[in-house]
Amino acid sequence: MEDLTIIAQAIDRGDYTQARNHLKVFCQENPEDPWGKFYLGRLLEAQHRLREAETLYIEILKQTTQVKLINLARQGIQRVQAQEKQEHQQAIEAALAEEGQREMGCLVLEPMDSGQKAQVAVEFGRLMHLDPYTARLHLPSRIWRLYRTGPVGELMVYQQALARIGIPAFCVSLSTIESVLVLQIHSLQITAENLIIQVQNSEGNAEGSSEKTFKTVTLDASEIGQWVEGLLPIFEQVVDQGTWRKVIHKEKIQDYAHLIDLHCPERQLILRLCDQNYGFEASATGKPLENLTHHQRWQALVNRLTGFLPHLQKRSSFQLFAEAAFDQDLFLQRISPQIGLLRQKDSPWDQAFHLYSILHWVSRTLE
C-alpha cells in the first residue's frame, strides 16, 4: 500500500503529474485492484473533473465488497454532488448580481423524441432533483413546456446547464413578453397583392370618448412570418341541481373564441384576429352575410387568409401548451393578455394564449 500512500500525498499537495505517473504504474501492476480506480477518482476530483470522478466512485460501489472502500466511494460521491450544488448556487448568485437579472421570466423546455429523453433523463433529474422516471415524464415530447418561472438570471443559469446535457430550452423575460406591440384586427380586405387591415388604434381614443378609432395597415404576404392560432373557452354561470335537489351555481363552457395571431417581424408587431370582436359586416366575404352563420363567416375568412398565406405553417398546439402552463398561474397573472374578450372575470386562458404567441415570436429570433 506504500504506492497508494505516495499517490494520496501527491494528490493532497497538488502534484497531479506525479500522482498520475505513480497511479499508472500501480494500475499496470495491479489491474484488478479497485483501489487504483478509487485514487484515479480522487485525482479527477482534485482536477475538478467532477462527473468523471463520480462515475468511477459509482463503479466502485458496484464492483467491490470492501467496506472501507465502499464508504470512501460514497463519501466521494457526496463531495462531488455537494461541490456541484455549491457551484450551481454560486452561478445563480453571480447572475442575479448583474443589473436587470432579478426581473421575472420563464424557462421553456423544447420537445424531444423518446430516444433523446432516455439519454438525458438521469442528468435532468440530477439538475432538477427528480428521480429518473419522474424526470423523463417532465421532458416534453410534442410541445413546449412552460417549466419554471422566477428571476431571469437564475433561469438563464438553468438554461445553460440544460444545454450542457443536451436539453433544448430558452428563457423569456416578462418585459420582453410585454414589449411586443399587438394590434387588434377589426376588419380586413384581401387583394391579389396585399392584405389591407383595419386595426384598432393603439394610441387610444380621445379623452372621454367611448368610440373606437381605427387605422389601416397594408401588408404583402412576405411580411407575415408566422401564424399562431388557438381556441379560448368562454364561460358562463349556470344553475344546476346537486345532491338532495340543492341548487348549485357552476361555470360551464358556453362557446370558444377563435384567435389567430399574424406575426410581422419586420414591422415589429403582431396582428391579432378574434372571431368574437371581428367586424364581419365591414369585410367583403363574397356571399351575403345574412345567409351565413357566425361559424361559416369565420371559416370563410380563415380559408381566404390561408389562400393568401400558403407559405405559413400554422402553430396550433395551444391547448396542450395551456394545460401545462396553468401550473405557473402566478406568473400568468402578471401577463396582460391584450385580447379584449368580454368576460365576467379574468381567465388564465387569455394570458396563456398571449404567452404562447409571444414565445413563438421570441423563438423565431433565436433560430
CATH fold for domain 98-176 = Ribosomal Protein L30; Chain: A, (3.30.1390)
Is the pLDDT at 284 greater than 70, yes or no? no
pTM: 0.84
125 in Cβ contact with 114 (< 8 Å): no
7 pLDDT tier (thresholds 50, 70, 90): confident
Q: Please write the tens of the pLDDT for every residue from 34-69.
A: 888 998 999 999 998 888 999 999 999 988 888 999
365 pLDDT tier (thresholds 50, 70, 90): confident
User: What's the CATH code, domain 2-95?
Assistant: 1.25.40.10
54 in Cβ contact with 76 (< 8 Å): yes
Q: Give the max Cα distance, the chain.
A: 98
Question: What 3-state DSSP class applies to 128?
Answer: helix
Q: Please write the tens of the pLDDT for every residue from 163-218.
A: 999 999 999 999 999 999 999 999 999 998 899 999 987 654 444 445 678 889 99
Q: Please write the tens of the pLDDT for every residue from 301-343.
A: 999 999 999 999 999 999 999 999 999 999 999 999 999 888 8
Q: Is the dihedral of CA 348, 353, 355, 359 positive or negative?
A: positive
Q: pLDDT at position 203, please?
A: 56
Amino acid at 239: V
Q: Please write the tens of the pLDDT for every residue from 117-153.
A: 999 999 999 999 999 899 999 999 989 999 999 999 9
In the chain, where are the structural domains located? 2-95, 98-176, 181-317
Q: How far apart are CA 333 and CA 352, in angstroms?
A: 9
Query: Cell digits for 182?
Result: 399587438
Q: How far apart are CA 187 and CA 215, in angstroms?
A: 11
1 pLDDT tier (thresholds 50, 70, 90): low
Q: Identical fold at 2-95 and 98-176? A: no
Q: How far apart are CA 141 and CA 212, in angstroms?
A: 44
Instruction: Measure Cα distances from 153 to 99, 232, 330 in Å.
Output: 9, 32, 19
